[in-house]
């Protein structure tokens, strides 16, 4: 069962549609094969990833972060306080939600809490060291900025430092969308050749990145040793005769 929110309000924009299409493929490629259980998706202005439920062993729960309520969303809550139980999700997908909050540390802490041991965390965002990153800066100071561009650009290095403070291990980072981030359809088609050249020239220079990490904390209960209390005045050990040793 998949509860996908509506597309961004600016989805008629050719650039937004192209970015969303590339990001969907990028995130699905990093999901483990044969994934079973609950997949939690925390979204902002972007549509949730369409997952294949298969034989009913996979369930997608979409939560809208922030205060804006949107149709078709399964849950609504604070990005720093999720209404979900701990160790209950097989995977957590954060779609540009870290770029809409001033401090991403509480959101990552909630993702780690909800994940099961060895669960997969996927973080999708805009690469600040790319053409999309430059476009994002221009949008912030533009006269009519799009609401789906990030408010705070987060680099992969910053996310690595934040995840190192948690029991999370970064496993893979992929980048995509090397085309010019323009709002014209002819420009997107004309620069599509950069999708083949870009990964060879600048492997980490794609406009979109997806970081995959796994939870490394075990949900175990510590064992308490049972101590045996000895008497305060124990009987003295017998003395052995001289010249004899204990067998």
Q: Which residue has the higher pLDDT, 232 or 128?
A: 128
Its pTM stands at 0.78
Average pLDDT on 140-169 reads 85
Closest CA relative to residue 53, chosen from 125, 95, 1, 17 = 1
Cα 70-75-208 angle, rounded to 5 deg = 70
Per-position b or e across 163-173, b if 16+ CB within 10 A of its CB: beebebebeeb
Least confident among 29-43, 50-64, 225-239: 225-239
For the chain, the three-class secondary structure string (H helix, E strand, C coil) is CECCCCCCCCCCCHHHHHHHHHHHHHHHHHCCCCCCEEEEEEECCCCCCCCCCCCCCEEEEEEECCCCCCCCCCEECECCECCCCCCCEEEEEEECCCCCCCCCHHHHHHHHHHEEEEEEEEEEEECCCCHHHHHHHHHHCCCCCCCCCCCCCCCHHHHHHHHHCCCEEEEEEEEECCCCCCCCHHHHHHCCCHHHHHHHHCCCCCCEEEEEEEECCCCCCCCCCCCCCCCCCCCCCCCCCCCCCCC
Q: Which residues pair with 63 in a beta bridge?
A: 42, 75
Residue 5 pLDDT exceeds 50: no
Residue 232: its pLDDT value, please? 59
Least confident among 44-48, 143-147, 235-239: 235-239
What pLDDT, in 10s, does the model give residues 27-38?
A: 999 998 888 889
Average pLDDT on 1-16 reads 56
What are the structural domains of the chain? 14-215 (3.40.50.150)
Q: Which residue has the higher pLDDT, 35 or 69?
A: 35
What pLDDT, in 10s, does the model give residues 180-219?
A: 888 888 888 888 888 888 888 888 889 999 999 999 875 5
Question: Taking a C-beta distance cutoff of 8 angstroms, is the pair 65, 42 a contact?
Answer: yes
Q: How many CA atoms lie within 13 A of 24 on its CB side?
A: 15
- Residues 140, 161: Cα–Cα separation, whole Å: 25
- Mean per-residue pLDDT over the chain, rounded: 81
Residue 11 pLDDT exceeds 90: no
């Amino acid at each position: 069962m998949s509860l996908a929110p509506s597309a961004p309000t600016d989805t008629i924009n050719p650039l937004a549609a192209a970015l969303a299409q590339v990001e969907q493929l990028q995130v699905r490629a990093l999901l483990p094969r044969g994934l079973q259980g609950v997949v939690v998706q925390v979204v902002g202005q972007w549509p949730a990833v369409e997952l294949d439920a298969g034989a009913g062993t996979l369930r997608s729960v979409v939560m809208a972060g922030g205060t804006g309520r949107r149709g078709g969303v399964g849950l609504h809550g604070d990005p720093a306080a999720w209404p979900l139980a701990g160790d209950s999700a097989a995977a957590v997908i954060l779609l540009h939600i870290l770029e809409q909050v001033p401090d991403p540390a509480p959101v990552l802490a909630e993702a780690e809490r909800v994940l099961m041991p060895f669960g997969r965390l996927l973080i999708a965002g805009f690469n600040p060291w790319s053409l999309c990153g430059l476009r994002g800066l221009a949008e912030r100071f533009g006269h009519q900025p799009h609401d789906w561009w990030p408010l705070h650009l987060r680099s992969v290095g910053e996310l690595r430092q934040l995840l190192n403070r948690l029991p999370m291990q970064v496993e893979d980072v992929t980048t995509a969308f090397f085309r010019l981030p323009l709002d014209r359809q002819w420009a997107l088609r004309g620069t599509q050749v950069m999708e083949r050249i870009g990964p060879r020239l600048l492997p980490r220079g794609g406009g979109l990145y997806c970081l995959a990490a796994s939870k490394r904390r075990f949900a175990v209960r510590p064992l308490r040793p049972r101590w045996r209390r000895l008497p305060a005045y124990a009987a003295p050990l017998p003395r052995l005769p001289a010249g004899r040793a204990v067998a």
